[in-house]
Amino acid sequence: MLIIAGPCVIENEDVVFRVAEELSRLSLEFPEFDFYFKSSFDKANRSSIRSFRGPGLEEGLKVLEKVKKEFGLKITTDVHETWQVEPTAQVVDMLQVPAFLSRQTDLVLACAKSGKPVNVKKGQFMAPWDAKNVVEKLKAGGAVDYYITERGVSFGYNNLVVDFRSLVIMSQFTKVIFDATHSVQLPGGAGDRSAGQREFVLPLIRAAVAVGCDGIFMEVHPDPDRALSDGPNMLPLKDLRKALETIRVIKDAVSTLSSEPPLLPPKDTAH
């Protein structure tokens, strides 16, 4: 079970190191999980031109490299353009393709060719069976370790909903991660920024682990109400341990059940 966690964007070293220190400590307490620290050096898809984007590639990678050396954590971050892949791959242990760019063939191929594991966020506009096309691109690029992350689908304006059938469907052709915090985001819900409903993060984690997934992605922050990006949907750092305990308990319970494969939808509806 992968656990990917960290603040949405690199705000400053203090915030990043506070989260990394706690994640490092928890990785010793929960050795059955494979921990990755995640934070973005640039949020290129912010709602407003006035929104904070991060320190940029060069400075951001320096911070992530410090996290890796000082806390012994594996690192992942997102890339938005093909030229960012090579320098980022020299620092991180896994590359991430943002949801809005999940169909950008050149970016997906560049990540696949890097030799690093690749996690592609499934676009909010994409059906679960359509993610198989992304997997084929990853394979064509030579990727040998890859994931698709479910992060909810657009449900009208400024709203997302999670169809947990997608975890079952996509698990037939790839390893699947569930993004528990972006799934409760309300895109553009606050006009010039996104809103969110973080009170639903833990319930959705429980559901995803019960349905079955290979990892949980969650953005965490020491003080989400003061975060510079995605604060309304981020999990408070103080609640991270509770989330991990929840994952452990439900995963252990599910593992005692029948290992028979789940029923799949008819082929004519799942394409």
pLDDT at 210: 96
- Tally the residues of the chain: 271
pLDDT of res. 267: 57
Residue with tokens 């690199």: 10
Give SS3 for 266.
Answer: coil
CB half-sphere exposure, 16, CA atoms < 13 A: 25
Tell me the per-residue pLDDT of 57-99, one tens digit each, with 9 for 90 and over. Answer: 999 999 999 999 999 999 999 999 999 999 999 999 999 999 9
User: Given this model, what pLDDT does residue 268 score?
Assistant: 52
Phi then psi dihedrals of residue 160, to 5 deg: -125, 150
- Identify the CATH number of the domain in which residue 161 sits: 3.20.20.70
Whole-number average pLDDT of the chain: 94
Mean pLDDT of 134-143: 98
* Residue 107: predicted pLDDT: 98
Domain span at 167: 2-270
Give the whole-angstrom CA distance, residue 189 versus residue 198: 14
pLDDT of residue 39: 98
State how many domains the chain has. 1
How many percent of the chain have pLDDT more than 90? 84
Tens-digit pLDDT profile for residues 169-187: 999 999 999 999 999 998 8
Give the tens place of pLDDT for each residue, 242-271: 999 999 999 999 988 755 555 565 555 555
Residue 90: how many CB atoms within 10 A of its CB?
11
